[in-house]
Structure 1
Amino acid sequence: MTDHTIRPFASDAAVRRVGEGLLARTLPKAEWTHEAHLAACAWLLLERPDFLPEHDLPGTIRAYNLACGGVNDDTQGYHETLTQLYIRGVRQFLVRREPASLVDTVNALLASEIAPRDWPLRHYSRDCLFSVAARRGWVEPDLAPLCHGAVTGKGA
């Protein structure tokens, strides 16, 4: 497992600020970090039952990218396979996690096995994951299947 530096969140409010900023398209682009992606996904799953990430997050991220001056094309911006993969991973993590505060849950997620940036490469080859097909739509893993019991709350 790759070591990764965790930039934890300080409070529940800090996590909510990221999620709400994503939805409102007001989160500064510099704050849309890998940790922010994971935190926003966890917040949406835990506190926004009206929001179905598998369906609603793609459009939300695309709109956010455009609002920040970015683009969504075949080489940059929104990536469907990565988004759906992380939604699955965060869901699995949350199912297995003991109830805790929002910030404690998010910080545990950031210390989990799915938090390293290279986690998707345990399931996908680079060629497959960074293909146009994977950016545009869901592509099944070509290296290792996703196991429903594989994501734990244990640190990296």
Structure 2
Amino acid sequence: MTSPTTPPLEALAGYPVIITIPVAWGDMDAAQHVNNTVYFRYFESARIAYFERIAFGLDFAQSVGPIVAHTQCRFRWPLTYPDTISVGTGVSGLGDDRFVMRFTIASHRHGKVAAQGDGLIVSYDYRNQRKAPLPAAVRAAIMTLERFDPTAPPSLPTT
């Protein structure tokens, strides 16, 4: 079998942040494939890379940062060692105090999508322990990175 050296590019098209991660031997479980919980760690790594790009939640001395309210994953292809994956992440919905992040994990070895998922990220005031409006600088950074129309109304409910 000939192994591709890159993930299926069409699967990652449109993602403004893409990271590459080697699959570690220790990521596998007794069933000899990457354990399902590890996929969420891959999502987390991509999410943090995105947050670094938009400067959100990197300094907890500031009281407002991101918190994951919900996440889900659809497993499409079992990953195994050895492999390298690319994880694309982007924002598909933006509200007053939240946004939806979407993820795609693509296997370089197999040239296939291994998983897709999303997560609801809420802007959270850690000092006062309640949701908070998305900081204006973070909203602007997301809109720039995603090329959102700044005149469009919020695409998520505010409640």
Which structure features the higher share of helix residues?
A: 1
TM-score (norm 2): 0.29
Structure having the higher Rg: 2
